[in-house]
Structure 1
Amino acid sequence: MQLLFIGDSLTSGVSDSERLGWAGRICKQLDPQGAKLTAYNLGVRASTTAHIESRWEKEAADRINPEAPVLLIFCMGAPDAVKDIPFGQSKVCAESILHNAKSNYATVFITPPPMIDEEKDKRTENLSAEFIKICSKLDIPCLDINSPLRENPAYIKALKESDGVHPNAEGYGIMAGVISKFISPYILPHLS
Structure 2
Amino acid sequence: MGPAAADPPVRTAPSAADGPARRDVRVCFAGDSLVAGTGDESARGWVGRVAAAAIAGGLDLTAYNLGVRGATSVQVARRLAIEARPRLTAGDDARIVLSFGVNDTIVEDGRQREPTERTLEALRTMRDRAAPVPILLVGPPAVDDDEQNDRILVLDRALEHEAAALAVPYVAAFPATVSSPVWRHPVHVGDGFHPDAAGYAHLAAVLAPPVVAWLREPVAR
**TM-score w.r.t. length of structure 1:** 0.90
Please say which of residues 115-124 and 154-163 is displaced more in the overlay.
154-163
Query: Tell me, what secondary structure is at the counterpart of 2:192?
Result: coil
State the distance in 2 between where 1:18 and 1:74 align.
22
Please say which of residues 42-51 and 23-32 is displaced more in the overlay.
23-32
Residue by residue over 1:39-74, the C-alpha shift from the partner in whole angstroms, topping out at 9 and shown as x without a partner, is 100111111011111100111112112441012100
State the distance in 2 between where 1:47 and 1:27 align.
22
Of 153, 158, 166, the residue aligned with 1:138 is 166
8 Å CA contact retained: 2:163, 2:170: yes
Q: Any runs of at least 4 consecutive aligned residues in structure 1 with deviations exceeding 4 A, and if so which? A: 32-35
How far does residue 161 in structure 1 lie from its aligned partner after superposition? 3.2
State the distance in 1 between where 2:163 and 2:217 align.
23
8 Å CA contact retained: 1:99, 1:138: no
How far does residue 152 in structure 1 lie from its aligned partner after superposition? 2.0
How far does residue 181 in structure 1 lie from its aligned partner after superposition? 1.1
Say whether 1:153 aligns with 2:181.
yes
Query: Tell me, what secondary structure is at the counterpart of 2:64?
Result: strand
Say whether 1:107 aligns with 2:135.
yes
How far does residue 80 in structure 1 lie from its aligned partner after superposition? 0.8
Which amino acid letter does the alignment assign opposite residue 56 of structure 1? L
How far does residue 151 in structure 1 lie from its aligned partner after superposition? 2.4
Structure number, greater radius of gyration: 2
Say whether 1:173 aligns with 2:197.
no
Say whether 1:38 aligns with 2:98.
no
Aligned pairs for 1:14-163 (under 5 A) are: 14-32=38-56, 36-83=60-107, 84-87=112-115, 88-101=117-130, 103-163=131-191
Higher helix share: 1
8 Å CA contact retained: 1:161, 1:168: no
Please report the RMSD computed on the Cα atoms of aligned residues, expressed in angstroms.
2.0
The count of corresponding residues between Structure 1 and Structure 2 is 189
State the distance in 1 between where 2:91 and 2:141 align.
34
Residue by residue over 1:71-106, the C-alpha shift from the partner in whole angstroms, topping out at 9 and shown as x without a partner, is 2100111111125223132222122213433x3112
**TM-score w.r.t. length of structure 2:** 0.79
Query: Tell me, what secondary structure is at the counterpart of 1:104?
Result: coil
Stretches of structure 2 that go unaligned for 5 or more consecutive residues are 1-24
Q: In structure 2, do the counterparts of structure 1 residues 5 and 119 end up closer, same or farther at CA, with 3 Å as the change threshold? A: same
State the distance in 1 between where 2:208 and 2:73 align.
23
8 Å CA contact retained: 2:72, 2:114: no
Query: Tell me, what secondary structure is at the counterpart of 1:127?
Result: helix
Which amino acid letter does the alignment assign opposite residue 94 of structure 2? V
State the distance in 1 between where 2:46 and 2:137 align.
14
